[in-house]
């Protein structure tokens, strides 16, 4: 199991891509049961924790280069260092602070980011995300795989 920790980001100053996608988003929104307070939020990655002891905890050198916008219409836009990813997301709350979470297939750019970049690692783990927890203003995404 892996866990990534995201903290609230600042829309408009952190990732210009998110603003563009937000402005172009369809007006159709996800059903209310699938909006556990995450829809319309922006996050910055501050930590990636792997159950693989060889990898351990990895933190990005510049968290502002790793952002995630969870749009109200179910779209997700990510800045992953020098790459971008877009796709869909769904979440169903099981209580006020947690629930199931998944990403649909992500379309990613494939630029070669200078080391040490976490872009490929995050994009690979996205398909295994199965749950979320919000605690103290932070979002934890847990993957199993």
Rounded Cα distance, 37 and 94, in Å: 12
Yes or no: say if 89 and 39 are a contact pair by the CB < 8 Å rule.
no
Q: Which residues contact 13 (CB under 8 A, 6 or more apart)?
A: none
Q: How remote is the C-alpha of 16 from its chain's centroid?
A: 16
Residue with the two structure tokens 């690692």: 121
Domain that includes residue 124, residue range: 2-143
Amino acid 50: pLDDT: 73
Q: Give the three-class secondary structure for 116.
A: coil
Share of the chain above pLDDT 90, in %: 55
5 confidence band (pLDDT: 50, 70, 90): confident
Task: List, in sequence order, every beta strand (DSSP E) within 15-65.
Answer: 41-50, 57-58
Q: Is residue 24 scored above 90 in pLDDT? A: no
Mean pLDDT of the chain: 79
Rounded Cα distance, 79 and 81, in Å: 6
Amino acid 109: pLDDT: 96
Model pTM? Answer: 0.77
Residue with the two structure tokens 């990005």: 60
Query: Across residues 4-21, what is the average pLDDT?
Result: 44
Amino acid 25: pLDDT: 32
Domain count, the chain: 1
Q: Give the three-class secondary structure for 46.
A: strand
Give me the CATH number covering residue 38: 2.40.128.270
Neighbouring CB atoms inside 10 A of 12's CB total 11
Q: Is residue 101 scored above 80 in pLDDT? A: yes
Q: Which two tokens stand for residue 104?
A: 């649909």
- Which tens digit of pLDDT belongs to each residue from 75-97? 999 999 999 999 999 999 999 89
């Amino acid at each position: 199991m892996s866990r990534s920790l995201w903290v609230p980001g600042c829309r408009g100053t952190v990732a210009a891509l998110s603003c563009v996608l937000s402005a172009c988003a369809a007006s159709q929104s996800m059903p209310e049961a699938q909006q556990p307070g995450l829809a319309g939020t922006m996050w910055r990655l501050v930590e990636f924790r792997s159950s693989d002891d060889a990898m351990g905890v990895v933190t990005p050198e510049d968290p502002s280069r790793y952002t995630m916008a969870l749009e109200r219409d179910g779209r997700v836009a990510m800045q992953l260092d020098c790459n971008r990813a877009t796709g869909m997301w769904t979440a169903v709350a099981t209580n006020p602070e947690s629930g199931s979470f998944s990403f649909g297939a992500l379309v990613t750019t494939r630029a070669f980011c200078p080391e040490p970049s976490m872009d490929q690692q995050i994009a690979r783990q996205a398909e295994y995300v199965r749950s979320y927890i919000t605690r103290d203003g932070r979002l934890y995404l847990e993957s199993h795989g």
